[in-house]
Amino acid sequence: MNDEEQGMRNKNKEIILKGQKVAYCLKTSARTRNLRVVVRSGGEVFASKPELFPDFLVARFLRQKANWILGKIAESKSQKSLLPPARRREFLEHRPAVRRLVFDKIAELSAVYGFKYNRVAIRNQRTRWGSCSAKGNLNFNYRMVFLPDRLAGYIVAHELCHLKEFNHSPRFWALLAIAFPDQKNLRRELKNHHLS
């Protein structure tokens, strides 16, 4: 069942909060009953609303939450500077290698997908191996350098597929399976590599 069949639609939008431009993904769903906003690791902002709820009320809701949203975004961006010295040294040491690894994987996968992305960043994401923002920015965890090569490729493909399907719908998993038919096994294997 695809998103339209489930009554769900996604729109990439922008809003000015306290003089700062913030990009966010607005999800409209027949199943949603209340307005909701979350700021994920990497600073990505997601809002969700009921199907018949007007967008201008979503904007008003986000402005009411502006201090919280901007605080969470700032906290996410400053995480790497708050790392313990040993972890920060490790991060700085491995970031160039991970960046090369990611771009090598993107080059390999471009023959399969060819999706256009905006920027690539290597971060110390505490709970995620990677993320894709509403603006098409790709973020990857520096600790990918310690993973088997095939799992690193799976992570890169996963985030690339979010450029086309900004969700985890059946269409997303079918898209990922083009490059990784065994993606279910790889997903299970990745869970054995803990980030905490």
Give residue-wise pLDDT tens across range 106-132: 999 988 999 999 999 999 887 899 999
SS (H, E, C) 120-175: EEEECCCCCCEEECCCCCEEEEHHHHHCCHHHHHHHHHHHHHCCCCCCCCHHHHHH
Q: Where are the domains of the chain?
A: 8-78, 83-190
| Radius of gyration of the chain measured on its C-alpha atoms | 18
Span 83-190 CATH architecture: 2-Layer Sandwich (3.30)
pLDDT at 81: 45
The per-residue pLDDT for range 72-100, each reduced to its tens digit, is: 888 776 654 444 566 788 888 999 999 99
pTM above 0.75, yes or no: no
